[in-house]
Chain A
């Protein structure tokens, strides 16, 4: 019985737990509740994934109202994969957050942190699982509003301006999205994604549909911080509490990429629409600009959190590029990079969180000598960094391999070269940090600095193991990503 309602539980459990945290008004108890809830959500997501692998896509009618009238929750391979990514990060961040948040957030607001965290999580899960374009907007707002609050919890007052800027731009993005949805509702009379998918191809040459796609693309590009709509991201990541940065970097932009894939491939009917509207070429160009431009900027950052934020921008470029390649290898590469990047970037930001916990700064100079003082944290950082570079035996290599393959299959040699060049730029900015940590002697008076507490190191360790494990044996993740890509594109070329 309960198995039948897993899609609803996936969203409802964290959504209900969030107000409970407010009522509890106690940091530690809220933390314990969040821990239980996020791990439950993770278990639910795993169960859904197994179910989807076993017996194909699940359709769940919310409240018993049959689609397209009622709201449908729909879990296909891609959605199930994203659910697992979001919940696994969500579950790993909570144990990490206990110490980290106590260090970085005012103690009377800690229960608010967990409230917003659970709300944000349920919003992201809702976006992923829903089969209704308007319902998606609602969850988009839930996750966005709660993430503005999460960012503004940062102790640095600049967190407030960063949150405010994100609020303005995020709202513009959401507005563009809802305008786009309004337009397709106008021509099709439906909001159900499956229904839209069946009706839109017949109207693909309508000007309204083109406008709708344009609005949707711009709106979602803002949410996923595609160049040149990325301006909100670096400061938001840099000044938010580290636990928030870990969570948002690993999930929020990824879910936005998911929405982009969903809109372009499922709603508007995959590669066929590109003949009408060449957004694949635009996305490819912008994706490559992100990959190169953001990496170049990252090289010159002195705040390690900002540096990693720019690196995130460049990695989002990889995903958008994969989406724009419009063949199975490329799209699968983009999808698997959602997973891979979630693992590596969460590991990197957690390492930064460990450093801040002990050193109290994330300026690159503060890292001097940490190779000796915090060997495990820095080892985690190196593993995450190698994944960013795309060294073999790390997850980054897998995504890069498939993206290059996707580019070469289409005969796009220059694109393959851009992918490789971006990896080499990553080498420069990662190694800058490694050199400071391992070659520069620690400053005087830093003798007290020691390894971060275990509650922070264990989640970091788990992510590092994931970075290596899924880099060595990528069959599981690649099978899923390829299956999802085949479902989206239609058939294997």
Chain B
């Protein structure tokens, strides 16, 4: 299968999956089988694109013309292919996990859930393979809209309010700021195609470039750069598989992915480096990293803490892009992969704890690790990867970002990344440690009731939940050893890079 065919197929396969899921709506087992078949097929399709990209090709296919002169086109380059590969691989894992979670937690409207999940993946593939900014913007907006029913899945008042914040911020920023930037880019550059070295160099004054960049970076609300981050904690009202795949991987990564795309292929790293338009945004990202980490420490609800952790980690990638060096961009791109595996593990664990023990607050989880050893061990590994300690994948991307920060001479950023790591330790590791501490004595209450034997026996979440989270936790370790491959794969996006070397 040629990659030109595979790209539209990657968008189409999940949509076909939607039809299959809807057809099998009255037979849950068949319906979930359809999801699995679709997820595996999608992964196979995405894999088939890799060889061409590794060989240095940029397969492109024009689907149709949207407006006169503006084409709706797909193309594969390393950044997008990586993103598509991660999202489609983790969809398989998440689908297995969803089966355990949705049944274990007795969720309603499961057909709608699986159907919109597949639509979300289709649009994510579209984002990953967009050949120009118009195509990307279209899929970006579609992704917002099709995840709305997933966020508000519970249908409660709380979900409705969260949905408002979600839609309000994401559509507000994209329609209010990003669309303006896209149209302005089209007028200034006369093209919206993603081009090596950017399309804006020499076409506008430094001032216009700076305004445009700000419109883009804040307009890409999915990157959750403060002050447009509130939608992400709000989205945590969704079922955990949604938080895991969409709000740790697909949706948020679509945001930072767009930031990277815009940085590399619309502005061009050189243009940003010479105009300095991005420096203040790098400081904004640095501030977001620290503030979000500090807020995360105050959250007792596990999913809320993870959400703020995600906001902080996303800004690593924004920071990488805004430092306007090759190493920063590659480090940011690697962080998309590394953080995806780490954070999805943590969310899987949060969901597994909820299913097995119905606990959502960290303070209630003392001693839970003895009953759920696999879950808490996986949590520990995922946390290490987020912190960036070897032998976890996260250490390489962080290393690369620190190198980039040192290269640019902004030692502040080096300090921010280091402090952030310490803060990560402070808010993630206690969760795992608390789990392995002895359970507290039943506080006063429960007089004469039958005392549940703590520590005795293992009562994990269903295997459908536990296996996926072990898989992704191991994935964090595997990524540590294959980081050089990823690095080599991503390096062409910035042309030749000097200095930074990772891996073997």
Contact = CB atoms under 8 A, between A and B. Distances in A.
B180 A389 contact: no
A314 B161 CA distance: 27
B318 to A, nearest CB: 23
B441 to A, nearest CB: 43
A331 interface: no
Interface in A414-461: 416-417, 420-421, 423-424, 427, 431, 435, 438-439
Nearest to A382: B145
B175 A420 contact: yes
A391 B145 contact: yes
A218 B160 CA distance: 45
Contacts of A417: 176, 180
A479 B175 contact: no
A143 interface: no
A479 B142 contact: no
A389 B171 contact: yes
Nearest to A329: B187
Interface stretch (B59-67, B340-348, B466-474): B59-67
Interface in B176-212: 176, 179-180, 183-184, 186-187
Interface in A356-394: 386, 389-393
Interface stretch (A205-213, A262-270, A404-412): A404-412
Interface hub of B141, B172, B187 (most chain A Cβ within 10 A): B141
B164 A431 contact: yes
Contacts of B137: 392
A198 interface: no
B145 A474 contact: no
Chain A's interface: helix, strand, loop or mixed, by majority? helix
Contacts of B312: none
B183 A404 contact: yes
Contacts of B64: 472-473
Given A386-B145, A474-B66, A479-B68, A392 B138 contact: yes
Nearest to A471: B66
Given A424-B172, A424-B175, A401 B142 contact: no
Contacts of A424: 171-172, 175-176
A279 B74 CA distance: 44
A430 to B, nearest CB: 11
Interface string B219-231: 0000000000000
A416 B183 contact: yes
B179 A420 contact: yes
A431 B167 contact: yes
Contacts of A400: 179
B171 A401 contact: no
A405 B68 CA distance: 13
B141 A391 contact: yes
Interface of B is mostly: helix
Contact of A409 (B68, B164, B187): B187
Given A405-B186, A427-B167, A420 B68 contact: no
B66 A439 contact: no
B142 A392 contact: yes
A483 to B, nearest CB: 10
A408 B67 contact: no
A276 interface: no
A475 interface: yes
Nearest to B159: A439
A431 B166 CA distance: 12
Contact of B175 (A389, A402, A405, A431): A389
**On chain A, which size bracket covers the interface?**
20 to 34
Interface in A470-493: 472-475, 478-479, 482
A386 B148 CA distance: 13
A30 interface: no
Given A393-B138, A431-B167, A472 B145 contact: no
A198 B405 CA distance: 68
A402 B67 CA distance: 10
Nearest to B155: A439
Given A392-B137, A404-B180, A420-B180, A474 B67 contact: yes
A44 B413 CA distance: 69
A398 interface: yes
A389 B186 CA distance: 21
Interface string B140-170: 0110010000001001010110011001100
A424 B170 CA distance: 11
A421 B176 contact: yes
A391 B174 CA distance: 10
Contacts of A392: 137-138, 141-142
B183 A405 contact: yes
Contacts of B172: 424, 427
B67 A427 contact: no
A417 B155 CA distance: 34
B68 A478 contact: yes
Interface in A307-321: none
B180 A416 contact: yes
A478 B179 contact: no
Contact of A482 (B65, B68, B142, B179): B68
Contacts of B141: 391-393
A482 B159 CA distance: 44
A386 B164 CA distance: 15
Contact of B67 (A389, A398, A409, A438): A398
Nearest to A409: B187
A400 B184 CA distance: 13
B176 A420 contact: yes
A177 B372 CA distance: 81
A413 to B, nearest CB: 8
A400 B141 CA distance: 15
24 contacts: A392-B137, A392-B138, A393-B138, A393-B142, A398-B67, A400-B179, A404-B183, A405-B183, A408-B187, A416-B183, A420-B176, A420-B179, A421-B176, A424-B171, A427-B171, A427-B172, A427-B175, A439-B152, A439-B159, A472-B66, A472-B72, A474-B67, A475-B67, A479-B68
Q: Which 7 A-B pairs have the closest CB atoms?
A: A392-B138, A404-B183, A392-B141, A439-B160, A420-B176, A475-B65, A474-B67
Interface of B: 64-68, 72, 137-138, 141-142, 145, 152, 155, 157, 159-160, 163-164, 167-168, 171-172, 175-176, 179-180, 183-184, 186-187
Given A404-B180, A408-B184, A475-B66, 5 more contacts: A427-B168, A427-B172, A435-B164, A475-B65, A475-B67
